[in-house]
Structure 1
Amino acid sequence: MTHPTTRALRNSLILPLFALAGAVQAAPVDTAAMLASETDGSQWLSYDRTWAQQRFSPLNQITTENVEQLGLAWSIDLDNTRGLEATPLYHEGVLYTSLSWSRVMAVDADSGEILWSFDPGVDKAKGRSACCDAVNRGVALWQGKVYVGTLDGRLIALDAKTGKPLWTQQTTDDSKPYTITGAPRVLKDLVLIGNGGAEFGVRGYFSAYDAATGELRWRFYTVPANPADGPQDSPALETALKTWSDQTRWDLGGGGTAWDSMAYDAELNLLYVGTGNGSPWNREVRSPGGGDNLYLSSILALRPKTGELVWHYQTTPGDSWDYTATQQLTLAELEIDGKPRQVIMQAPKNGFFYVLDRATGELLSAEKFGKVTWAERIDMATGRPVEAANARYENEPALIWPSPFGAHNWHSMSYSPLTGLVYLPYQEIPATYANEGGNFVVRNAFNTGSGLENRSLPREYATGALIAWDPEKQAPAWRVERPNHWNGGTLVTAGNLVFQGTSAGQLEAYTADQGELLWQFPTQTGVIAAPMTYQHNGQQYVALMAGWGGAAALFGGDAAVATGTRNVSRMLVFKLDGKAQLSTPAPLQTPDRVPQPVVAAASDIEQGELNYGIYCTVCHGVGAVGGGTIPDLRYSSDAVRDAWEAIVLQGAFRGKGMASFADSLSAEQAQQIKLYIMQREYESWADTQKEQAQ
């Protein structure tokens, strides 16, 4: 534990360096620039600002004393209807960011003028393979190039001045349901990129490409290959194979996709990568008979030159709940047992906050940061969770916290070396899991094996919080309750400020030490991305991509619409004494009709509900309640209803992201889904009439 006098001394040594922020001349983005950015806050050169992924800025022009003067400097209304998750990068007067469908733009930091834009032309039918919206979390910069991963699995290098493609690599087998939504990372002239798709059945891996030429340098698979096909590619995979059962369904992929977090320690020369859930989620389907199933839900430390595994720590052995460990990995120095330790920290989906020695992977501490019922605690002697009775739902369904949304999802956390606190977007959502081990059917859809395809999510079941977590004490320092979940990532600055956007449509600033709300700005849309800050022409700015979307907005049903927000996509940039105003968004249009009860056999509506849950819920919401991003099917127009078969089976709306489902549904089944949706429209209308009459 750090004593106040120790922390004060540490701060007194750090602050003089922060006072120099912005004094360093801008340079090409390379190793020297990334190392300089540890103390120079003028640039924001990587997704999490630095390789340590702290999302802490040493800029202190905007402080607790003047943040109430923060105003909009300028904004850009964007032609974008899906979620915005990117953190913009700033380098030499230009902001670089990505939009949905893997589009990229460069923006003049003075005027807000779009200097260039790039559309990789992703086939929007690929959205069917995206578990969590057609989103993109950002780009990477290196030596005059901008790198972006695309939803269809490409890694593209663009000229930073013109936006013209310089090289392209297809990093995945595009015939399989792989996707890329994460931001690339660059180090040692290598571009690192992972992928997603475990819900649909893929084998996870991440790759390193030459930053100049695009040549593949190495690839690390996160789960073994089918041993019937020959020996494994590496000793690490031979070790992993021993943790999978003899009855493993290798045809289901295994999962373990590394779809987000990567950090780097330049002194230790170690790359850290977080890996994802199993495919399917339920171990009883994936690996009957048990096993830890390495390297699912793990933190991996590797040599970046070769991809050689140095150590691993598995946060959720034998994962059966979609508890990914792809959440942010943050490097810091903490005082543990009276001694300074170089640590790596993570708050993954499973609800425990982990602190590990980043040289060795030794577990130093792990405590619950929210409501967790699947495990009682982490056994510090073994590093393993002590699971609760029936946590694996083998014999009967189980109501469990957290849900697959996680106690903390991809939304960025931040760490301040000044306060010693981590600022964590927390959410509290349960789920009922049910074992499909004996009844599992492989579909061209989510294959979880856990009975979650068609569950409702009432708004009262989902809440959130902004938690300031003390990683040394492993306890909250302060907490701000949120009535809703799926709130944005955080930014913390040397001005003693924490910024966070909310699903209710606010950008807010709190004191980092006490959690006092000082400033709010109405964004007119739910915010899921994290803000960033930079210094331009001697002035500090805060920038944010605002646009409601992502998994909760698509899938979340009633809980997702509780805030009343929708997608209004913008880039927002703030400065002290900013005077710009947002334009008024266009009103929503819904059909003006009084729905009638559906005249159809109950069995048809029931079958429609079943198939809706399997094939439609992931985008159109549980219970056919749209979440404010994709149009709510209950209120689809008469013209859409008349063209239903052409849309659902013939791909008439393919260009909008609605792929054909002719490979999965018959004409009769498509009609049954329409009947179910029409019945849901009538039920919703009837409920509203009752409420108005009371």
Structure 2
Amino acid sequence: MRRLTSVLPTLPLLAALAAAPLSSAVAAAVTAERLNQAAEDTSNWMSHGRDYSEQRFSPLDQINSENAYRLGLDWYHEFDSKRGLEATPLVIDGVLYTTGTWNRVYAFDAETGKELWSFDPQVNREIGIKLCCDAVNRGLAAWGDKLYMGTLDGRLIAIDSKTGEDVWTVQTTDPDKAYSITGAPRVIKGKVMIGNGGAEFGVRGYFSAYDAETGDQLWRFYTVPGNPAEETDPLMKEISSTWSGEWWKLGGGGTAWDSMAYDPELDLLYVGVGNGSPWNREIRSNGEGDNLFLSSIVAVRPDTGEYVWHYQTTPGEEWDYTATQHMILADLELDGEARKVIMQAPKNGNFYVLDRETGEFINADNYVDINWMSGFDENGRPQVVPEARYATSGKPWVGSPGFLGGHSWQPMSFNPETGLVYFPTRQMNFPYIPDANFEIGDKKVNLGTDMHAAAMPQDPAIKAAVKAATKGRLVAWDPIQQKEVWGVDKPVPWNGGTLSTSGDLVFQGDGQGYFKAFDARTGEEKWSWFAQTGIVAAPISYSVDDRQYIAVMAGWGGALPLLTGDLSAESTAGQTNRLLVFSLDGEQKLPEFKQINKPLNPPADTADAETVAQGKLIYQNYCASCHGDTAVSGGVLPDLRYASGWTFDNWNSILIDGLYKNKGMVSFGDVLKPEQAQAVKSYVIHRANQALDELKKQEEGDK
């Protein structure tokens, strides 16, 4: 008989925790005791994953599979940005805290929606050029009377939870390098844990601990070694043997940009580590070595940062198969033995179950189709197939999954009552082609793969086939049997994280703009609500005065909408971003939804084929990561094909002179010549006219 239980022991709560949240909406101090017992606290959502186990399971059942149809909007808040919203809100004693774009922080009365305060750290919009994946933030951490947030420009800020005032700020990264922070911090025993991003731009990854009261750095753990001739850390010297060449000159990568979890019983902090920099291992490490700790789960002591164990999900990573995806702690009964496990579904397409005390591989199986490996050896090491080593062979290879992964950062949830893990997946391939002209350059991603050659083909039949093969899915996964129990197909491959509840429900938003509730045991849709914009964040649940609420940040954005516009064609994008809060019989209404259809009215396509080809090459290197592959936007930033005549007339003022730098569109005058900027303009005009021709043919066909 299989048994699944929560990772945290059931302990009697203090009377203060059992009491209803304060109606005056004043949060009490968050303590170690409260966080250790958070799994039993039905009113609050005090940390990123609700409790240290990161299960994202709510024991509330007032809203359940029998009455979910009665759900309605209770209150909402509109934000003044259309960039992506990825935050998980916190709810502490009747106050809801969340983050929006550009690291703005908000506090609301969790019952009424009244805004209590807001805080803007004044992130310079020019930092946008150092961001791979939108001006997003995934949320806050809480300790005592403070909130903590990592900013896009690498700061860690402590904020007074009652007033919204800045208490202290520390710069956690080198501001002259392309580091960023999008992940939510965690607080353990008065220490704030934070990592960073930027591997695509050539940095060396690490995560650090800071004193929650003072902001003093307590320790730092590097995830890849530096120059062996200069290393003094014995661990870094040891793992440098898994590298080759002069990787440190290229950064190495391994940024810890999202997931963490903590086991208070074992006193272990688990951190997910990202991809190599550049992707191409032939360039990064002479095509040799496992390159630790890339694409690994690393366990350390939170007091000191002392290394305890690691497991590498993808040895010799060169496909952007990060292990930064959400990790869940649980106790499972496997083969008649109670095991303390950590579970993860990283980008590489496998669902892993590891012993969280030792790092021992227990089992794994693929949750999407994969072709980069043939299986696992007796020690749980993936067996990489030779043809997947595109960098060494020099031959193009179509990887499944592609660099956006079978599952990305969108949080999973685990329901100990059903024994299932719920998470969004995608089947999405990518052609890995070595970049014969690789060179390190500012204001472009440094991957070592040819993004120009890998662009979406414009042949209608090929494009249609690629779209047909790209799928999204909500999956309910049995971690013991290592199999899908049920799944729901999604028209868009980029969808939201999940929340599961004791009401036998799973909540998820999707790229089409719908927020839905599913039966946790069968996958039957129980409720659907149109949010007017795509949703990628994960929902939460909390209660105030014995009333249960479901809240979610609704705002379309992130890596896929920025880069792969053609594959976001079915999305509801570019609409108003909101925080949405639901309850049974909620009666609020959103303003009327109006579909935005901009006219295509490009200048004449007069450039010669050579100029257009040159413009495409430059566009794919410098512009595609924000405005979309082959000049097709996914709805987050402007689709340049629809640019106005004024924009085309002032093209060089924008691209070279930095006319819009305060909006995040920095000057490219230091890397592009005026004639190169004009070539990009010619390419965009060419693509706009192609789109106009397709539209006319479609209209004629409709007649």
TM range (shorter): over 0.9
Distance 1:635 1:289 in 2: 43
Among all aligned residue pairs of Structure 1 and Structure 2, give the percentage whose two residues are the same amino acid. 51
Give the structure 2 partner of residue 426 of structure 1: 425
Aligned residues: 681
Distance 2:605 2:148 in 1: 51
User: Would you say 1:609 and 2:651 are equivalent positions?
Assistant: no
User: Would you say 1:39 and 2:40 are equivalent positions?
Assistant: yes
1:478–1:14 CA distance, 2 compared to 1 (3 A)? farther
Selected match of 2:562 from 536, 543, 554 = 554
Distance 1:239 1:56 in 2: 39
Deviation at 1:134, TM superposition (A): 0.6
Selected match of 1:571 from 569, 574, 579 = 579
Give the structure 2 partner of residue 351 of structure 1: 349
1:464–1:509 CA distance, 2 compared to 1 (3 A)? same
Give the structure 2 partner of residue 491 of structure 1: 499
Deviation at 1:16, TM superposition (A): 12
Alignment of 1:593-608 (within 5 A): 593=601, 595=602, 597-608=604-615
1:40-88 deviations in Å (ceiling 9; x for gaps): 2210001111110111111111111111111000111111120000011
Distance 2:188 2:404 in 1: 31
- Which is further off, 482-491 or 557-566? 557-566
Amino acid at match of 2:334: I
Give the structure 1 partner of residue 481 of structure 2: 473
User: Would you say 1:298 and 2:261 are equivalent positions?
Assistant: no
Give the structure 2 partner of residue 217 of structure 1: 218
1:470–1:363 CA distance, 2 compared to 1 (3 A)? same
Give the structure 2 partner of residue 670 of structure 1: 677
Distance 1:479 1:16 in 2: 35
Q: 1:454, 1:613 within 8 Å by CA — same for their partners in 2?
A: no
Distance 2:588 2:641 in 1: 37
Q: 1:82, 1:567 within 8 Å by CA — same for their partners in 2?
A: no
Deviation at 1:24, TM superposition (A): 4.5
Give the structure 2 partner of residue 279 of structure 1: 277
1:153-177 deviations in Å (ceiling 9; x for gaps): 0000011011110000000001100
Distance 2:109 2:645 in 1: 44
Distance 1:507 1:526 in 2: 9
Distance 1:352 1:88 in 2: 29
Amino acid at match of 2:665: M
Distance 1:306 1:575 in 2: 43
Give the structure 1 partner of residue 406 of structure 2: 407
Give the structure 2 partner of residue 83 of structure 1: 84
Give the structure 1 partner of residue 372 of structure 2: 374
Distance 2:675 2:594 in 1: 37
Q: 1:22, 1:538 within 8 Å by CA — same for their partners in 2?
A: no
Q: 1:180, 1:196 within 8 Å by CA — same for their partners in 2?
A: yes
Amino acid at match of 1:665: L
1:321-379 deviations in Å (ceiling 9; x for gaps): 00000001110011111111000000000001110000000000011111111112222
SS at match of 1:675: helix
Q: 2:207, 2:221 within 8 Å by CA — same for their partners in 1?
A: yes
Q: 1:21, 1:40 within 8 Å by CA — same for their partners in 2?
A: no
SS at match of 2:562: helix
1:589–1:517 CA distance, 2 compared to 1 (3 A)? closer
Distance 2:276 2:600 in 1: 45
Selected match of 1:687 from 684, 687, 694 = 694
Give the structure 2 partner of residue 74 of structure 1: 75
Q: Which runs of 4+ in 1 moved over 6 A?
A: 13-18
Q: 1:567, 1:629 within 8 Å by CA — same for their partners in 2?
A: no
Q: 1:94, 1:108 within 8 Å by CA — same for their partners in 2?
A: yes
Distance 1:450 1:427 in 2: 22
1:215-242 deviations in Å (ceiling 9; x for gaps): 00000010111123x233x222122111
Deviation at 1:565, TM superposition (A): 3.1
Q: 2:507, 2:518 within 8 Å by CA — same for their partners in 1?
A: yes
Give the structure 2 partner of residue 639 of structure 1: 646
**Structure 2 stretches of 5 or more lacking a match?**
22-27, 457-462
Distance 2:308 2:237 in 1: 15
- Which is further off, 612-621 or 578-587? 578-587
Selected match of 2:667 from 641, 660, 664 = 660
SS at match of 1:390: helix
**Structure 1 stretches of 5 or more lacking a match?**
none
Deviation at 1:561, TM superposition (A): 2.4
Q: 1:130, 1:179 within 8 Å by CA — same for their partners in 2?
A: yes
1:16–1:342 CA distance, 2 compared to 1 (3 A)? closer
Selected match of 1:532 from 535, 540, 545 = 540
Distance 2:629 2:19 in 1: 51
Q: 1:21, 1:59 within 8 Å by CA — same for their partners in 2?
A: no
Deviation at 1:112, TM superposition (A): 1.1
Distance 2:441 2:670 in 1: 10
Selected match of 1:255 from 253, 256, 266 = 253
Amino acid at match of 2:86: E
- Which is further off, 209-218 or 101-110? 101-110
Q: 1:534, 1:541 within 8 Å by CA — same for their partners in 2?
A: yes
Distance 2:572 2:535 in 1: 13
1:454–1:142 CA distance, 2 compared to 1 (3 A)? farther
Give the structure 2 partner of residue 650 of structure 1: 657
Distance 1:15 1:312 in 2: 29
Q: 2:274, 2:323 within 8 Å by CA — same for their partners in 1?
A: yes
Alignment of 1:132-281 (within 5 A): 132-228=133-229, 230-232=230-232, 234-245=233-244, 247-281=245-279
Distance 1:215 1:146 in 2: 16
Give the structure 2 partner of residue 332 of structure 1: 330
Distance 2:12 2:359 in 1: 30
1:237–1:453 CA distance, 2 compared to 1 (3 A)? farther
TM-score normalised by length of structure 2 = 0.94
Give the structure 2 partner of residue 515 of structure 1: 523
Distance 2:488 2:9 in 1: 28
SS at match of 1:334: strand
Q: 2:10, 2:40 within 8 Å by CA — same for their partners in 1?
A: no
Q: 1:21, 1:39 within 8 Å by CA — same for their partners in 2?
A: no
Give the structure 2 partner of residue 386 of structure 1: 383
RMSD: 1.9
- Which is further off, 22-31 or 359-368? 22-31
SS at match of 1:689: helix
Distance 1:61 1:530 in 2: 20
SS at match of 2:40: coil
Q: 2:410, 2:536 within 8 Å by CA — same for their partners in 1?
A: yes
Distance 1:275 1:111 in 2: 39
Q: 1:549, 1:567 within 8 Å by CA — same for their partners in 2?
A: no
Distance 2:10 2:535 in 1: 31
TM-score normalised by length of structure 1 = 0.95
Alignment of 1:102-113 (within 5 A): 102-113=103-114
1:116-143 deviations in Å (ceiling 9; x for gaps): 1111111111111100001000111110
Q: 1:153, 1:172 within 8 Å by CA — same for their partners in 2?
A: yes
